[in-house]
Amino acid sequence: MTETKLLRTLDVCMPLLFIAALGARMTGVAAHELIGAILCVLFFTHGYHHRSWYQVTFQGRFGPRRLLSVAINALLLVGALIVFVTGLTLSPELFPIIGVDAGMLTRQIHSQVCYWMIILLGIHIGLHAPMLDRVLERYMPSRAKQLLYLFFSLLGIYAFIDRGLFEKLFYGFAFDFWNPSLPAFLYFLYYAAIIISIGCITAFLDRFIKCKDRMLFG
């Protein structure tokens, strides 16, 4: 496997593992912690590969598009650090030596930051939509691709309401109930759809942001 294919595989695996990590009640605590540990390694591997981006972050001109990209990447980094550190302190299975009786506040922070990471990840993916779009073009016709985007956008809006994500983001509702009579895969599909729908909305708005950049810098 070439380095490029390996990195693309990494980029695909990270959001999938993140979605899987959201379902601790379905996967069990041990699997949840294992997925989180793998995700932590992949996250910092991804960051190391793109370290040149961090080295030039404050160089050159800053338009709205670049400011947004820097802000989202910075928030993703901070959010990931909070999730990983709080996860370690809460760990009863993989890291029991590190795990402590951190209390409900730490659990609340861990959960709520994860919910905000859903939003940030969706925006991050949306800002890279042209690259992802080119990959999809190799596997499906344009019409099918547009229908796929539409399906996930509508499902994502429904799932956002169904999962009560607004309340979880702004009111601190950490508990994530799932009806056991429903298939577990729907839980993961809903959160995947939320991320994709946010990505689609971001990609649409990104066109106007890029136009603003061209107006500013020519």
* pLDDT at res. 208: 85
Closest C-alpha to 19, from 186, 212, 215 = 186
The whole model's pTM is what? 0.89
Compute the residue count for the chain. Answer: 218
Cβ 197 vs Cβ 155: under 8 Å:
yes
Find the mean pLDDT for residues 172-187: 86
Question: How far is residue 105's CA from residue 191's CA, in Å, rounded to a whole number?
Answer: 24
Lowest-confidence pick of 28-37, 53-62, 95-104, 203-212 = 95-104
Mean pLDDT of 87-110: 74
